[in-house]
Structure 1
């Protein structure tokens, strides 16, 4: 049994009831805060797990890109940074706490190298210092007995400051490059990198500051602040993939431009080759024409002229003279020399008026009212002369006309020659078949060779009209 004295002593040590009442009132709020903090830590841990899976996948993609593209080799450091964080996230268990400083050292090494080499800024002493640091950090922890403790906290702060310094220096280098050569693309990249790096730098500094101020506050905020670093790495990986895709599109555009230029160049070379071939063919053809013309003039022309002067038969002499004129016309066409239209009109007028006059047909010649400065190609002159001769022959032989009018004019860049008679016209049995009568088919064929046309209008009792149109 307890003595009265003991009971009185126990009663004396009981806290007063009015002191316990406020604690009882605050207990639900404290419990709610603890539950809210545990829920926040749960969601933060879930986000860390999702980010670890996404970073592992992104590291695979970036690794493939850096291995296939020589210019993206610095991205291999970003791969190392991602994998270091993924493994660091996997060593969150207490038994693996000794590996965290070493993994953090590798993460900082890869992060610093990526940020600086991305700007083509490389220093050998930084490379050596980072490698030495990878040996010093685990060695110091081993010398300390393998316990992380205060030494691990110090190394974590030093490594975080190194990463923050590398981020700040990367932004500064981008700013200097933009000042040296202002460019909209570089300005946009600077704004993007500042939006990515500055929040991460502030999160790392805030995490170090909270660890020195309040362990409870650090324990609550650290999981959320730690999300910014993996988010930064994920954003850098996406940016790299986007740059590679954009470079691929630009390369395809350049290839298409080069292919178009090559095609244009090939077409130009083909045109030049075709022109040279045509010029060469024209030169060979011209030489051959001149040779044939010389042979005709010297050999056949001399023989025909001999027949004209020595033949005792008027018919043979006349035929030889006509053959000589045809030969001279053919020779003129073979020489290929252009003929002034005013000279051609003079020759045609003299020949037509003479032939029609010999047949007792009154010939009326109408020349263009305007000044004549045009020229005829040699072949066009020959073909027009033959069409005109055929028309005059038809008037003399078949029309029975007493009057013929030959007029020439210029219309819309064309030369128009019209031959009209007042004869009996083409017989009715040839109606609808004018091409078959009096050499009409030959005349139209010759006009077509000059890219022109020969129209025939005729009817019994009102004569015939032949209209020849030749483009100049």
Structure 2
């Protein structure tokens, strides 16, 4: 009969006397039929430990950044070999003294790497211990005494390593950045698992038999393995979420680049268009304008001179629209009033101009100014040529973001034959088209005998 050292109890075996190797193998149906329920439990726990070790090995193979988990997988395999092989050999003490220090070395290495620490001197000391401790079997010391000393020595190392590990996890919970901070829930779970390992060590020291020690140690290893698998699953979920977020950011960036490209292209087109407008305006002013002005001053025909003067005014208006310079609304009102009142007075029509009561500080884009001027000219021309009116009222207002002009005469109105076809007579289609280009509207109200009302409304 051989005395099994207490160190085996620390690692999941008892220090109770163990018989020599049985005559029947443990897998024999006769032995399994009379097996104790604890043996069935330990067999199931050992199978779970080996399965988790295999799973961790496969996960490490796929993700080399988590290679430190290989220490835990090695510890699981070694522990199963020790608890399954040592009691059934003729020299259980020798097996325990050979495997025990290596398992302690793997456990300490795992706990160190788990908190991103490394200590070469400690690693060398543990390796030296794993090599030298089996040589203690050659000393003239009773096996029971040697087993007791090894049990307390290796178990103490495990307790210190687990306590040191918990202390560093506690510090990691208060790191400055959220990404580096250790989760509080994981800390509580780790403390519970390591506390189970501590209880296994204390049970090996204080309680005879290997049952409670083996169960607690197996539960500790299974819990640590499941915790690592859960971390792998959580990391995979976070990676998938980051990939999805990256795709969304990429789509947003692409959309932003497309918008930026459109803006640059639009700005470039606007620059080219503006440059071309200025060139055309300069050509009109320098060439055509000079020729028209020559005709105005040198023509002997009043009609030709008048037509040339009107063409010159139209050309100047077009040049003003091409240059793109905005016009103050007050200045525009002054120009329109002078032109409308002057033209109506020349036609012996009394003109009444009503401007806004308050001072307005709005500006008119150049194109809007030109289009509005031409609408007013067309309206005045219709009054002079077709209405037969003697009085005309022009009212202007600017409020709620809109500029409105109402032109009302006391003429004969639009004839009945044009009723329902106002867009086709007296330039109405042109006026409405110009208003639409400014995102506004031009309405015409008329009837025989009560004059015509033109309402122009455009946004400021």
Q: TM-score, with normalisation over the residues of structure 1? A: 0.80
- Return the match for 1:57 from 30, 51, 62: 51
Aligned to 2:127: 131
Q: Is the 8 A contact 1:91 1:100 kept in 2?
A: no
Q: Report the CA distance between 1:446 and its aligned residue.
A: 0.7
Residues in 2 aligned to 1:291 and 1:181: alpha-carbon distance in whole angstroms: 63
In the aligned structure 1, how far is the partner of 2:126 from the partner of 2:35?
33
Tell me what 2:113 maps to.
117
C-alpha distance in 2 between matches for 1:179 and 1:326: 78
- The farther-off stretch of 258-267 and 241-250 is 258-267
Question: Which structure carries more relative contact order (alpha carbon 8 Å, separation 6+)?
Answer: 2
Q: CA deviation at 1:131?
A: 2.5
Q: Given the alignment, which residue of 329, 339, 343 partners 1:355?
A: 343
Q: Is the 8 Å Cα contact of residues 420 and 466 (structure 1) preserved in structure 2?
A: yes
Residue 292 of structure 2 is matched in structure 1 by: 304
Partner Cα distance (1:271, 1:46) in 2: 69
Count residues with an aligned counterpart: 424
More helix by share: 1
Of 390, 403, 417 in structure 2, the residue corresponding to residue 402 of structure 1 is 390
Task: State the distance in 1 between where 2:174 and 2:417 align.
Answer: 96
Partners of 2:434 and 2:282 in 1: how far apart?
Answer: 25
Give yes or no for contact 2:199–2:216 (8 Å, CA) kept in 1.
Answer: no
User: Which of 168, 172, 193 does residue 190 from structure 2 map onto?
Assistant: 193
Residues 40 and 179 (structure 1), Cα distance of their counterparts in 2 relative to 1, 3 Å cut: farther
Give the secondary structure class of the aligned counterpart of 2:454.
Answer: strand
Take 2:357 and 2:312, find their aligned partners in 1: how far apart are those partners?
34
1:384 deviates by 0.4
- Equivalent residue number for residue 434 of structure 1: 422
- Number of the residue aligned with 1:162: 157
Partners of 1:60 and 1:432 lie apart in 2 by 90
The answer to whether the 8 A contact 1:424-1:463 is kept is yes
Does 2:251 align with 1:282? no
Matched, 1:45 2:39: yes
Q: Which residue of structure 2 lines up, in the alignment, with residue 6 of structure 1?
A: none
Cα distance in 1 for residues equivalent to 2:97 and 2:458: 97
Q: 1:102 & 1:361 partners in 2: Cα distance?
A: 124
8 Å contact kept, 2:347–2:384: yes
Q: Provide structure 1 residue ranges, at least 5 long, that are not aligned to the other structure.
A: 1-38, 211-217
Q: Is the 8 A contact 2:200 2:212 kept in 1?
A: no
- Contact 2:444 2:452 (8 Å CA) reproduced: yes
| Cα offsets for 1:398-442 (capped at 9, x unmatched) | 222222111100121111011111222222232222222211111
- 1:104 is aligned to 2:92: no
Distance in 2 between residues matched to 1:467 and 1:176, nearest whole Å = 78
Taking the aligned partners of 1:136 and 1:369, their CA distance within structure 2 comes to: 107
Q: Say whether 1:84 aligns with 2:84.
A: no
The correspondence of residues 414-429 of structure 1 with structure 2, limited to 5 A, is 414-429=402-417
Q: Give the aligned partner of residue 13 of structure 1.
A: none
Deviations along 1:205-260, one digit per CA (max 9) or x if unpaired, are 222223xxxxxxx23xx212311111111111122222233334444445555555
**Aligned mates of 2:104, 2:127 — CA distance in 1:** 11
CA–CA distance in structure 1, aligned partners of residues 125 and 191 of structure 2 = 27
Q: Which position in structure 1 is the counterpart of 2:202?
A: 205
Is the deviation greater in 98-107 or in 180-189?
A: 180-189
CA distance in structure 2 between the aligned counterparts of 1:316 and 1:179, rounded to whole angstroms: 94
Do the aligned residues in 2 keep the contact of 1:387 with 1:443 (CA within 8 Å)?
yes
Go from structure 1 to structure 2 and tell me whether the alpha carbon gap of 1:466 and 1:164 turns closer, same or farther (over 3 Å shift).
same
CA contact (8 A) 1:41 1:223 kept: no
SS of residue matched to 2:420? coil
Shift of 1:191: 3.2
- Asked if 1:247 corresponds to 2:235, the answer is yes
Higher radius of gyration, 1 or 2: 1
* Closer, same or farther: CA 128–410 of 1 in aligned 2, 3 Å: same
Alpha-carbon displacement from aligned partner over 1:254-302 (angstroms, at most 9, x marks no partner): 5555555555555555544444443333333223222211211121112
Provide structure 2 residue ranges, at least 5 long, that are not aligned to the other structure: 1-32
Residue 69 (structure 1) aligns with: 63
User: Which SS does the other structure have where 2:458 is aligned?
Assistant: strand
Distance 1:400 1:175, change over 3 A: closer
Contact 2:196 2:219 in 1 (8 A): no
Matched, 1:471 2:459: yes
1-structure distance, mates of 2:36, 2:450: 114
